[in-house]
Chain A
Amino acid sequence: MTSDAPVIAARNVWKLFGADPKKYLRKMPSGHSYDAIQADGYIAGVKDVSIDVARGEMLVIMGLSGSGKSTLVRCFSRLHDITGGTIEVDGQDIGKLRERDLIDLRRNKMGMVFQSFGLLPHRTVLENVAFPLEMRGQDKHTRRERALEVVRLVGLEGREDYFPRELSGGQQQRVGIARSLAIEPDIWFLDEPFSALDPLIRREMQDEFLRLQAMLGKSIVFITHDFDEALRLADRIAIMKDGAVEQCDTPDRIVLNPATEYVRKFTEDIDKARVVRAGGLIRDGLAGDGTPVEATATVRDMARMLVSDTRETIPVTRDGAMIGALSRNDALSILVGTD
């Protein structure tokens, strides 16, 4: 993490669909609800969203279909032109970029993975992966070298000459991932990359993805409608409904302190013990002694200790340093599911 400035900074972003959205937005009274906008003949794809993506962070945007998550991510890359607000990428307002500069930005900084892969059917695996490099005008030899490297990275060695149609869904998405990585982007957008895959493969691909991320450390915006997936991967989760972000926070805080009724309903069925970590349970003014627990341990990880231990408070450490203490009772009630 080289700097604290966010990679993507979105301020009051609006994306309306309809006849003349810009004019409508200018005249619209503030605080208009999604339904009120719809009654006027417009669809609020993104409704007044302000959100930052920190460098090296994995932000997961989640919501049901039609909640605007795909639209939002397409605004980040300017696949959609936004109706109102600003989006800055590395401090640059992308709404003001000229066509040429936008193309440059995409050629050098951004990669995107799509739900149904978006592979070019007439190109082989290798040609698909090399496609962004080709667009950039790199020579054939360099292109091939780099493409081979990425293909190896995603574990598709030996299939370079296959056509997309000859691959399974999971393999096709590996091609999609490889293609998005070919230009070594700083920002990586993934639009429900594993939703089209069956559950077993999905799990495998998530592990693969975590492995890649541990290696590459990109800034990531990841879209999913699957809460378990979000919890598995996210540094932070943004929950969207009707185009607006309901809550954006770390997984355990979302589970422990849902900001709205909608988020509470969403998190209701989640096994909190798997999500909440010791670090999130620290309470001010508490101190304890004895064997500490690691801040990253989930309540589930500590279950045996929590039940057999007799201490009221348990100290918490992060990277060897004491950072506070948690109440054993708090942790136990999460474990048994009574709030």
Chain B
Amino acid sequence: MADATMAPAPASGSGEVSPQRFALILVGIGAALTVFQYLGLLPAALHRLPESMIPPFAPMLDVAFNFVKDDLGLLTFTRWLTGGLEAVLDATANLLFGKRRWPNIGPIPWTAIAGVATVIGYYLGGWRMALLAAFTFTWTALVGQWKIAMETMSVLVVAAPLAFIIGLSLGILAWKSRAFNAAIKPVLSVLQTLPFFTYLLPAVIFFKVGPTAGAVATTIYAIPPMILMTTLGLQKVSPEVVEAGKMSGCTKFQLLRNVYLPAARTEILVGVNQVIMLCLAMVVLTAFIGMPGLGAKLLAMMGSFKLGRSFEIGVTIVLLAVTLDRMSKAWVVMQPRHFERGTPWWKRHIILLTAIGVFVFFCIVAQFIDVANTIGRRQSLSMGKEIDTAIKAFLSIDVVKATTGFLRAFLNVQVLIPFRNFMLSIPTPALILFVTAFALSLAGKRQAVYAALFFSLVALSGWWDRSVITLYSVISAVALAMLIGLPLGIIAARSEKWSHRVLLACDTAQTFPSFVYLIPAIMLFGITDIAVIFSILIFAMVPLTRYTIEGLRAVPAEMTEAADMAGASRWQKLVNVQLPLALPTMAVGFNQAIMFAFFMVIIAAFIGTQDLGQELQRTLAGTDLGKNFVLGICVSLMALTFDLTILKWSSDRKRKLGLGD
């Protein structure tokens, strides 16, 4: 009997095999295949799928695209849409940075915009927010980046409201119609894992290069979370409030307009916050398709290794991100407040009046004082050169140089390259088996089937080696991030004060557009493989640390107290009580880290990698839609495998521990 179950023959009549044991069997087969490969006994066809067996996905997709594009007339339609969008974008461009288009009254003086932003900041979050807004806009103007920042903003102010409206409508639809919701769910999860390059190319093809394509890609990218938050908010409206609405005699539309939407205000505004942040992150990245603005400038500066200017642009982007994030979050928590009886009209609208006043005042001032209108290149206080010199001087200090040099050499030679070669040496079927086993043991049959299916598709795509390199970058960066992020989180979670501080830092770091993370990586390690890993590492560390702290802090006090009373040492308490209970939450962080890593590894292609990202970036130059999609889907499939598996494990585990979801 024992012999029968030990034998790795899946067809044997061993009856019910536990998933863990089955996973073990899969790993065994995979390992055996790998060993055969090393011994040179494995037929080449089992190591890598022969070229001839790869279905022509890309040309097939191309044919389909062309059919939709030309024969069904989608292109005509989108080009027609482009016209409308272009007009709006031209108008905002004129107002914000004086592009010569209708209505030809711009640019609005920077002081006026900064002034109004300050007043809005005060309205939303008091003096501190006002100060933040004022500082951000003044800084942007003073370092001479006003024009490029406004180029970015001119797209943002169109894309964000558009994403909001579309997301809100689709969210309402998904909430109303079960069928639509079921249809849209998988699309949303694919969209959220799809690398951004895959958004960019269709946008270019269908909507012309430049701001229009940028706006479209940005809008589409920001829609999914808005849909999710809208649906969530509407579902959460208290049934009593709805019943009160019905008993007040609301028609269906009145109910939606007067009861549901206002009552879901918080979630909808959280959606708005996410829309704004995603738009900012994406609009910076649209530099890759030639959208002028902060992103393009940053790309150019990094490309020519001008670290000082890159740094300054990075600071501007970060400041803008933090300001927009804090302001929209303040809006989320802002509650209506009543005025005392008999408050005069002007007092009730004091903020609006001040904003108008400030705006008009600065517009007039700018007519007479040039500096208040625009700050030219010569007048700016940019310290690009100086910072550049300083950074380069710092990097050439012996100790620093030795450290980065050592890290680079050590990681490369001892860790990364051997690991990469090992990953590449595993035969394709063996790796698929490993991943399937991983999904099976953690999550279950269903996830295992998905894992097998998804990775097989990746193998069939014909981009296996590049996919494996992508995977290698992700895994090694996340592993390194765990080495730093987890201890950091554990230590910080020990005190209330430090938890708070580190969480705040994580919060802030998470608002930074991903592009910015490349700056320190390039600064420290130049344009190398290590810089790629490093940028992913810091990007992925944020959720790891954050969820470690949150998981540990959420362990119920009675349990740690019980451990204390049982005489556990600090270490025993951590290992036996806190970590096991925090693990499901930490897994969510781990999952996010992997998702972030998949996202970042594609951006890092810019530094020069040999993975899918680089190929993707190449497709942007042409009109290779089919290939672009195949590559994008490869990334998406790999990411989804992890996403499905880890999240399932986490929620299973939470239920088992009775922690609730």
Residues of A within 8 A of B (CB): 74, 77, 79, 103-104, 106-108, 110-112, 114-124, 131-132, 134-136, 158, 161-163, 165-166, 176, 179-180, 183, 189
Which residues of chain A come closer than 8 Å to B240, judged between CB atoms?
Answer: 114-118
Establish whether residues A103 and B249, one from each chain, have CB atoms under 8 Å apart when the complex forms: yes
Q: How distant is the Cα of A117 from the Cα of B258 in the complex, in angstroms?
A: 17
Establish whether residues A135 and B339, one from each chain, have CB atoms under 8 Å apart when the complex forms: no
* Cβ of B414 under 8 Å from chain A: no
The answer to whether A166 and B338 touch (CB under 8 A), given A118-B241, A135-B254, is: yes
Q: How many B residues touch A, CB cutoff 8 Å?
A: 24
DSSP class of B's interface residues: helix, strand, loop or mixed?
Answer: helix
0/1 string, B256-289, CB within 8 A of A gives 1: 0011001101000000000000000000000000
Establish whether residues A132 and B241, one from each chain, have CB atoms under 8 Å apart when the complex forms: no
Establish whether residues A116 and B238, one from each chain, have CB atoms under 8 Å apart when the complex forms: yes
Instruction: Kindly provide the distance from the CB of A176 to the nearest chain B CB, expressed in whole angstroms.
Output: 8
**Closest 8 A-B residue pairs measured CB to CB?**
A107-B249, A118-B244, A118-B240, A132-B248, A161-B338, A112-B247, A122-B262, A106-B249
Establish whether residues A136 and B338, one from each chain, have CB atoms under 8 Å apart when the complex forms: no
What are 28 A-B residue pairs whose CB atoms fall within 8 Å in the complex?
A77-B247, A79-B243, A103-B249, A106-B246, A107-B248, A110-B247, A114-B244, A115-B240, A117-B240, A118-B238, A118-B241, A119-B244, A120-B241, A120-B245, A120-B259, A121-B263, A122-B265, A124-B338, A131-B258, A132-B248, A135-B251, A135-B258, A136-B249, A161-B341, A162-B338, A166-B337, A166-B338, A189-B247
Which residues of chain A come closer than 8 Å to B335, judged between CB atoms?
Answer: 163, 165
Instruction: Kindly provide the distance from the CB of B508 to the nearest chain A CB, expressed in whole angstroms.
Output: 29
The answer to whether A131 and B338 touch (CB under 8 A), given A74-B243, A118-B238, A118-B241, is: no
Which residues of chain A come closer than 8 Å to B339, judged between CB atoms?
Answer: 161
* Cβ of B25 under 8 Å from chain A: no
> Which among A135, A166, A183 is the interface contact of B250 at CB below 8 angstroms?
A135
Establish whether residues A135 and B248, one from each chain, have CB atoms under 8 Å apart when the complex forms: yes
Q: How distant is the Cα of A162 from the Cα of B341 in the complex, in angstroms?
A: 10
Establish whether residues A104 and B238, one from each chain, have CB atoms under 8 Å apart when the complex forms: no
Number of A-B contacts (CB under 8 A): 83
Which residues of chain A come closer than 8 Å to B258, judged between CB atoms?
Answer: 120, 131, 134-135
Instruction: Kindly provide the distance from the CB of A76 to the nearest chain B CB, expressed in whole angstroms.
Output: 11
Instruction: Kindly provide the distance from the CB of B270 to the nearest chain A CB, expressed in whole angstroms.
Output: 16
* Cβ of B336 under 8 Å from chain A: yes
The answer to whether A104 and B244 touch (CB under 8 A), given A121-B262, A165-B335, is: no
Q: How distant is the Cα of A131 from the Cα of B240 in the complex, in angstroms?
A: 15
Instruction: Kindly provide the distance from the CB of A263 to the nearest chain B CB, expressed in whole angstroms.
Output: 29
Establish whether residues B243 and A114, one from each chain, have CB atoms under 8 Å apart when the complex forms: yes
Establish whether residues A106 and B338, one from each chain, have CB atoms under 8 Å apart when the complex forms: no
Establish whether residues B243 and A106, one from each chain, have CB atoms under 8 Å apart when the complex forms: no
The answer to whether A163 and B337 touch (CB under 8 A), given A115-B240, A117-B240, A131-B258, is: yes
A121 (CB) vs chain B CBs: closest residue: B263
Q: How distant is the Cα of A172 from the Cα of B251 in the complex, in angstroms?
A: 25
Q: How distant is the Cα of A161 from the Cα of B338 in the complex, in angstroms?
A: 6
The answer to whether A135 and B265 touch (CB under 8 A), given A112-B243, A119-B244, A120-B241, is: no
Which residues of chain B come closer than 8 Å to A183, judged between CB atoms?
Answer: 249
> Which among A112, A122, A132 is the interface contact of B336 at CB below 8 angstroms?
A122
The answer to whether A120 and B262 touch (CB under 8 A), given A74-B243, A161-B341, A163-B336, is: yes
Q: How distant is the Cα of A175 from the Cα of B349 in the complex, in angstroms?
A: 27
B240 (CB) vs chain A CBs: closest residue: A118
Which residues of chain A come closer than 8 Å to B248, judged between CB atoms?
Answer: 106-107, 131-132, 135, 179
Which residues of chain B come closer than 8 Å to A158, judged between CB atoms?
Answer: 341
Instruction: Kindly provide the distance from the CB of A112 to the nearest chain B CB, expressed in whole angstroms.
Output: 4
Which residues of chain A come closer than 8 Å to B259, judged between CB atoms?
Answer: 120
> Which among A107, A112, A162 is the interface contact of B244 at CB below 8 angstroms?
A112
Instruction: Kindly provide the distance from the CB of A199 to the nearest chain B CB, expressed in whole angstroms.
Output: 22
Establish whether residues A79 and B241, one from each chain, have CB atoms under 8 Å apart when the complex forms: no
Instruction: Kindly provide the distance from the CB of B65 to the nearest chain A CB, expressed in whole angstroms.
Output: 44
0/1 string, B227-253, CB within 8 A of A gives 1: 000000000001011011111111100
Establish whether residues A118 and B243, one from each chain, have CB atoms under 8 Å apart when the complex forms: yes
Instruction: Kindly provide the distance from the CB of A88 to the nearest chain B CB, expressed in whole angstroms.
Output: 19
Q: How distant is the Cα of A74 from the Cα of B246 in the complex, in angstroms?
A: 11
Which residues of chain B come closer than 8 Å to A176, judged between CB atoms?
Answer: 244
Which residues of chain B come closer than 8 Å to A103, judged between CB atoms?
Answer: 249-251
